[in-house]
Structure 1
């Protein structure tokens, strides 16, 4: 897959989910927007989990841990470049490594992710865990 195809397929979703890594807790409008975008992409909960763990967390987790990171809002263009670069390299041993370490890269935002998934399940008429 090339960079433009990644942006076309995932860009909107990546940018919608990025606020999970910001300093502030997402608000009602943030969660509503995330759910709206997720629903447009028609993804299963399992697919979303892997996007969270493999496509987003390695990039945004580093941003969150950085002393000079952007914590209040992201520069969408810069973030998209980082996400595309990461995802173009996400094959073979890199993919396996991120799968193994994804618990570490997601732990700081897991509570927010769980809240989003619970809200998404309610939206879909499913029973949250």
Structure 2
């Protein structure tokens, strides 16, 4: 199990860049551009990126998105604390549980995710699928 600082060092920037996918408003052009730039720096495959979206981010950010208050004001420090706590427990049966339910947890953010992936492919010179 990785310590908290290692998780923040390895994933913090990426997690924070992708968090707007779960906000109430559609991400702005600048947010999508930042997401693409951060993803490119992390040199991840699309499959790795998909699992980060589904297992590392969705369980935490979906709960935030579905909160009664709809509070969109979670600061970066609080968000990182929640993401680190979740990811430090993401092994064994918990990983299987979140993998099983990740499709449902990503439903609301999936259209934005698809837009991001299309932009990422275009930025890397690839043709997005139809």
TM-score of the superposed pair, with normalisation by structure 2: 0.96
Partners of 2:9 and 2:40 lie apart in 1 by: 16
Q: Report deviation, 1:118.
A: 0.4
- Unaligned 5+ segments in structure 1 are none
* Structure 1 residue runs of 4 or more that deviate by more than 6 Å after TM superposition: none
Q: Name the structure 1 match of 2:96.
A: 96
| Structural RMSD (CA) | 0.8
- Unaligned 5+ segments in structure 2 are none
Q: Report deviation, 1:123.
A: 0.5
Q: Name the structure 2 match of 1:25.
A: 26
Q: Name the structure 1 match of 2:48.
A: 47
Q: Name the structure 2 match of 1:56.
A: 57
Q: Name the structure 1 match of 2:110.
A: 110
Partners of 2:15 and 2:67 lie apart in 1 by: 20
How many residue pairs were aligned?
128
Partners of 2:29 and 2:8 lie apart in 1 by: 26
Q: Report deviation, 1:126.
A: 1.0
